[in-house]
Amino acid sequence: MSEIIRKEHNVSTLMYHIVCPAKYRRAVISEEVDKKLREICLGIEARYEIKFLVQSVPTYSPEQIVRTIKSITAGLFFDFALLV
């Protein structure tokens, strides 16, 4: 499940369990939204050294990881919601 990340001067395996509940605790994630969310998360994996089930390099703090994920997904979802 986890993979060892090798850098020039270190080797790491950091895993984070991050819970992101939907606002108002109602069913808001349809199949279409789920598909788009997966697409966005794969894009984040490609651009940053962040894997979902969140694994990252030690240069990012958990706060930075969550901030990065939330800001990118929110922005792309707003664009997606305008198209739907």
Asked whether residue 80 carries a pLDDT value surpassing 80, the answer given is no
Closest by CA position to 40, among listed 84, 76, 83: 76
Task: Give the model's confidence band at 45: pLDDT under 50 very low, under 70 low, under 90 confident, else very high.
Answer: confident
**Enclosing domain of residue 36:** 5-83
In this structure, what token pair is assigned to residue 31? 């199949």
CB 64 within 8 A of CB 20: no
How many domains in the chain?
Answer: 1
* pLDDT at position 13: 77
pTM, two decimals, is 0.54
